[in-house]
């Protein structure tokens, strides 16, 4: 498995394919068409369909950035930017991935454009519905991952306990140890 899925929904995991956005050392997971096709498969967006080409990769990155812009503005209680909103709505209007039930399970067939339709529609449902209130950004300063906080008390702090949560707790522990050692 190449990709990580800590956000609670495919569209937010897709937006998180660019990590540490506000850092000079951001990390891009969608480096080429192979990585994009791997993401579709690993996320369960599709199980079959035409391989992605460079135009599909460019369209995916364009939608990802529009999604991030709209989601970030919703998260921060700001007016949704018109250009990004228009792109998300436009992408949602085409034909989505087609699921088919077979004897061996569900086959989700679609080209890369259909995959983007599914993600745009999912974003619209989250942002326009009650789940929009559950959007949170990881509290680790270097991380910019946005996730849905579906925890019981809605007090989740990190996109993932395995990565950011573990790092934050380890840093806090080291700081406490240094403070004890420094105290005469």
What gap in Å lies between CA 135 and CA 79, rounded to an integer? 16
Please give the model's pTM, rounded to 2 decimal places: 0.87
By DSSP bridging, strand 18-19 and strand 27-28 are: antiparallel
pLDDT, residue 4, reads 75
Does the structural domain 10-182 have CATH classification 1.10.3720.10? no
28 or 144, higher pLDDT: 28
Tell me what the mean pLDDT of segment 110-133 comes to: 96
- 124-166, pLDDT tens digit by residue? 999 999 999 999 998 877 888 999 998 888 787 767 656 775 6
Average pLDDT of the chain, as a whole number: 89
Tell me what the mean pLDDT of segment 5-34 comes to: 92
- 168-177, pLDDT tens digit by residue? 566 666 767 7
Q: Give the rounded distance of the alpha carbon of 169 from its chain centre.
A: 23
**Do 97 and 115 form a contact (C-beta atoms < 8 A)?**
yes
Q: Which residues of 122-138 are buried (b: 16+ CB within 10 A; e: fewer)?
A: bbbebbeeeeeebbbeb
Evaluate if residue 3 carries a pLDDT over 80: no
Ordered by start, the domain boundaries in the chain are: 10-182
Q: What share of residues in the chain are helix, strand, coil (percent, to 5)?
A: 50, 10, 40
What gap in Å lies between CA 140 and CA 103, rounded to an integer? 45
Q: Is 94 helix (H, G, I), strand (E, B) or coil?
A: coil
Q: How many CA atoms lie within 13 A of 15 on its CB side?
A: 28
pLDDT, residue 15, reads 97
């Amino acid at each position: 498995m190449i990709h990580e899925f800590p956000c609670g929904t495919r569209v937010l995991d897709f937006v998180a394919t660019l990590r540490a956005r506000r850092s000079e050392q951001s990390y891009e997971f969608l480096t080429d068409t192979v990585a994009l096709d791997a993401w579709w498969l690993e996320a369960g967006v599709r199980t079959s369909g035409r391989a992605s080409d460079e135009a599909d990769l460019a369209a995916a990155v364009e939608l990802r950035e529009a999604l991030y812009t709209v989601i970030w503005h919703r998260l921060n209680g700001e007016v949704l930017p018109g250009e990004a909103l228009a792109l998300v709505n436009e992408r949602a209007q085409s034909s989505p991935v087609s699921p088919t039930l077979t004897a061996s399970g569900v086959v989700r067939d679609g080209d890369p454009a259909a995959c983007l339709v599914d993600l745009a529609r999912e974003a619209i449902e989250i942002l326009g519905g009650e789940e929009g209130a559950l959007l949170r950004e990881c509290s680790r300063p270097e991380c910019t991952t946005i996730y849905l906080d579906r925890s019981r008390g809605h007090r989740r702090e990190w996109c993932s306990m395995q990565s950011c949560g573990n790092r934050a707790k380890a840093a806090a522990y080291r700081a406490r140890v240094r403070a004890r050692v420094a105290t005469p």
